[in-house]
């Protein structure tokens, strides 16, 4: 069967023939949630998450640290990497920063598989209770409350550590007392991210799961006009679904943070995605924001989208429709990530491969036994992963 090597050849995805295969090297997912095995709820464990990522044919997975308990101590890092360490996937970790764990952050960043410092913005409500943008971990003091971009504040100190190790800072960009709204994302960008990055242009910064066209436009303008170094993660679900498409009975299945957005945002981000590689200011990475939940938990309202065993078919199908090329996807899956997390190529010596085949694809029935069904259906997918 004819196969196309996405590194050496540049072919339009739409021109690949039925039955032909495309080979990608080192497909990374920069944003993947997991839990400690012993704290797993609903039977979902870290090893389960590894298996899901392997099933999607992700070769390198960056774990988000909002496990229970959260990984805010450098002593926990090696313990975490012990879990599932013999499985065929490379694993890295974003380390959870808070207002008072600078020394832990410093030590954690020295670890070759700790890729960044991750900030979850938080606030205290009128009763003094801490609220996080996603989940609150009572008793773990796991949040950053200080959102000032000015020198001497938490984010400045964390940024200095990131610069010292040449690793990025990644933030779930929403001002937490504004809920999960476009206003919250815009506000955090305007008042925290852009001022911080403009003051420290040597800082590599990642906007986790970018969902708004306005965010992308501001980041691009800043990279172009102010020399900032801001990368953006794109999730398959924000490129595929919109809030208007969700049927009421499927509401809980697609409940996630940040929430699904309007068609204008989806279409605008997809259009930006098609421009990857044409302008060095466009820095986009594949971050699925996969969240491990069972169907039972999702139906009851657990937050996060866990159905991305088919993330790669979705991306390839979108790329087919928009005239993107294999080399653009390889930028998205690998090279942008290696540019942002520049140490990666020093850590790993060998390539791993993911093969995708052009063919109409409907997942097998047993798929729905353990993952959330896709409310939009799969009939449009015309790519599958070759196992
Ligand atoms: Zn996330």
Opening angle at CA 93, ends 287 and 265, nearest 5: 20
Q: What is the pLDDT along the chain (387 residues), one digit of tens a residue?
A: 678 888 778 999 999 999 999 999 999 999 988 765 555 454 556 777 777 788 778 899 998 876 666 777 888 888 888 877 888 889 899 998 989 899 999 999 999 999 999 998 888 878 877 777 665 554 555 578 899 999 999 999 999 999 999 999 999 898 888 888 899 999 999 999 999 999 999 999 999 999 999 999 999 999 999 999 999 999 998 998 888 877 777 777 777 888 889 999 999 999 999 999 999 999 999 999 887 777 777 777 777 776 556 788 889 999 999 999 999 999 999 999 999 998 777 777 788 899 999 988 766 655 555 455 555 554 467 888 886
Picking from 331, 343, 210, 315, the residue whose alpha carbon sits closest to that of residue 265 is: 210
Give me the number of domains the chain comprises: 1
Q: What is the spatial distance between Cα 24 and Cα 6, in angstroms, rounded to a whole number?
A: 5
Picking from 342, 352, 110, the residue whose alpha carbon sits closest to that of residue 231 is: 342
Separation of CA 289 and ligand 1 centre (Å): 5
Domain range holding 94?
A: 3-386
Give the ranges where 93-209 is alpha helix by DSSP (H).
102-109, 154-165, 182-188, 194-199
By the 10 Å C-beta count (0-12 exposed, 13-18 middle, 19+ buried), 110 is classed as exposed
Q: What is the spatial distance between Cα 164 and Cα 303, in angstroms, rounded to a whole number?
A: 35
- Quick one: pLDDT at residue 296? 74
- Quick one: pLDDT at residue 28? 94
- Quick one: pLDDT at residue 39? 52
Separation of CA 304 and ligand 1 centre (Å): 8
Picking from 150, 265, 165, the residue whose alpha carbon sits closest to that of residue 209 is: 265
The residues facing 119 across adjacent strands are 171
- Quick one: pLDDT at residue 307? 56
Signed CA dihedral, 21, 355, 28, 252: sign only: positive
Q: Which residues contact 38 (CB under 8 A, 6 or more apart)?
A: none
- Quick one: pLDDT at residue 265? 97
Q: CATH number of the domain at 35, please.
A: 3.20.20.140
Are 121 and 133 a contacting pair, CB within 8 Å?
yes
Separation of CA 120 and ligand 1 centre (Å): 10
Separation of CA 62 and ligand 1 centre (Å): 11
Separation of CA 31 and ligand 1 centre (Å): 6
Separation of CA 93 and ligand 1 centre (Å): 13
Find tokens 């990374």 and name the residue.
28
Separation of CA 64 and ligand 1 centre (Å): 7
- Quick one: pLDDT at residue 299? 76
| DSSP letter, residue 166 | T
Separation of CA 34 and ligand 1 centre (Å): 10
> Is residue 386 left, alpha or beta, with left meaning phi > 0 and alpha meaning psi from -120 to 50?
beta
Are 215 and 172 a contacting pair, CB within 8 Å?
no
Separation of CA 287 and ligand 1 centre (Å): 9
| DSSP letter, residue 254 | G
- Quick one: pLDDT at residue 38? 52
Q: Which residues contact 11 (CB under 8 A, 6 or more apart)?
A: 4, 22, 325, 326
- Quick one: pLDDT at residue 380? 62
- Quick one: pLDDT at residue 42? 46
Q: What is the spatial distance between Cα 90 and Cα 58, in angstroms, rounded to a whole number?
A: 9
Q: What is the spatial distance between Cα 44 and Cα 34, in angstroms, rounded to a whole number?
A: 8
For the chain, how many residues are written?
387
Residue 109 exposure: Cα atoms within 13 Å on the Cβ side: 23
pTM above 0.85, yes or no: yes
Are 143 and 122 a contacting pair, CB within 8 Å?
yes
Helix-then-strand count for the chain, H and E: 15, 14
Are 15 and 356 a contacting pair, CB within 8 Å?
no
Q: What is the spatial distance between Cα 142 and Cα 70, in angstroms, rounded to a whole number?
A: 7
- Quick one: pLDDT at residue 15? 95
Q: Which residues crowd ion ligand 1, with CB under 5 Å?
A: 289
- Quick one: pLDDT at residue 44? 52
């Amino acid at each position: 069967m004819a196969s196309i090597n996405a590194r050496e050849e540049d072919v339009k995805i739409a021109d690949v023939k039925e039955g032909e295969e495309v080979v990608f090297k080192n497909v990374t997912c920069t944003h993947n949630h997991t839990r400690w095995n012993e704290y797993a709820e609903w039977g979902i464990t870290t090893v389960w998450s590894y298996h899901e990522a392997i099933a999607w044919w992700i070769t390198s997975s960056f774990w988000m640290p909002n496990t229970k308990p959260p990984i805010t101590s450098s002593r926990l890092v090696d313990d975490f990497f012990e879990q599932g360490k013999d499985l065929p996937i490379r694993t890295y970790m974003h380390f959870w920063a808070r207002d008072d764990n600078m020394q832990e952050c410093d030590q954690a960043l020295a670890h070759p598989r700790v890729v960044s410092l991750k900030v979850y913005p938080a606030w205290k409500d009128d009763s003094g209770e801490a609220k996080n943008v996603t989940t609150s971990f009572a008793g773990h003091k796991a949040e950053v409350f200080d959102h000032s971009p000015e020198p001497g504040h938490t984010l400045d100190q964390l940024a200095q550590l990131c610069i010292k190790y040449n690793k990025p800072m990644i933030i779930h960009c929403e001002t937490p007392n504004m809920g999960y709204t476009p206003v919250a994302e815009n506000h955090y960008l305007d008042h925290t991210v852009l001022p911080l990055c403009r003051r420290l242009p040597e800082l590599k910064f990642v906007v986790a799961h970018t969902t708004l066209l306005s965010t992308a436009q501001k980041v691009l303008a800043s990279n172009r006009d102010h020399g900032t170094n801001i990368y953006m993660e794109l999730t398959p679900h924000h490129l595929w679904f919109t809030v208007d498409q969700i049927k009421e009975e499927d509401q809980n299945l697609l409940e996630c943070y940040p929430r699904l957005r309007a068609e204008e945002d989806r279409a605008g981000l997809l259009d930006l995605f098609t421009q990857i590689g044409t302008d060095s200011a466009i820095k986009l990475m594949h971050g699925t924001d996969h969240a491990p939940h069972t169907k039972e938990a999702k139906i009851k309202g657990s937050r996060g989208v866990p159905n991305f065993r088919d993330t790669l078919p979705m991306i390839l199908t979108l790329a087919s429709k928009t005239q993107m090329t294999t080399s653009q996807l390889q930028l998205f899956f690998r090279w942008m990530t290696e540019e942002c997390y520049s140490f990666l190529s020093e850590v790993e010596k060998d390539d791993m491969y993911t093969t995708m085949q052009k063919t109409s694809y409907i997942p097998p029935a047993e798929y729905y036994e353990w993952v959330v069904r896709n409310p939009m259906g799969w009939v449009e997918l015309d790519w599958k992963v070759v196992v």
